[in-house]
Amino acid sequence: MDKIDEIKQNIAIAIESTQSIEDEKYRIEAFKIILNNLSNTTLKTGSGTGSGTGSGTGSGTGSGTGSGTGYDDDLLSILSEKSGLDKESLLNVLTFEKNQLILLRVKGDSIADQYFYCSLMILAFWKICKNMDYVSNVKLGFPMSRYGINTRNLSTTLQKKKYHEFIISKGKGKSKEYRITTKGIQKAFETLSELSQ
């Protein structure tokens, strides 16, 4: 595959990954991030020979670029240490590209359950690996959109009282932010453990 074909393929993947995002500004931002990640991964690793750990199965092109540089080992080490799960188990559930969390597996039969469990994993990542208390709507929704989950009702769903002991929100509309509680982090680790089996 020559360089032009690689660029065309990356653009097609970025378009497909962002189709379900209804907000145009959010969709454009997500498109740019995905395209940038794919381009950087291609340039950094060339054709690659997959890592054999399944770390690149989420993005379509990741399987050929996931050798030693397909994920951020520092972030994985931090998450492994805090969660008590080994790196190989974690790579069954998620991976990283350019400091972005990529979900490979999700939990939940209903869309509401998927929102909840994905949010736990994403917020735990930002808190533990990045020391960020509050996470914006865009940062929370991006890994879900990339996985293929429509995030249109994410904010409304997380406002439900049953989630308040795990996830706290502040602000309104596009400026809404979310914080994971200590109980939420424990639940996130349980979710990671279950999905890693």
Dump pLDDT digits (tens) for 33-60.
666 655 654 444 343 333 344 444 444 4
Distances (CA, A) of 19 to 4, 11, 24, 72, 150: 23, 12, 10, 27, 9
Q: What's the distance, CA 30 to chain centroid?
A: 12
Cβ atoms 72, 119 nearer than 8 A: no
At 113-153, the pLDDT tens digits run 999 999 999 999 999 999 999 999 889 999 999 899 999 89
Cα–Cα–Cα angle for 69, 74, 79, rounded to 5 degrees: 120
Q: Where are the domains of the chain?
A: 3-196
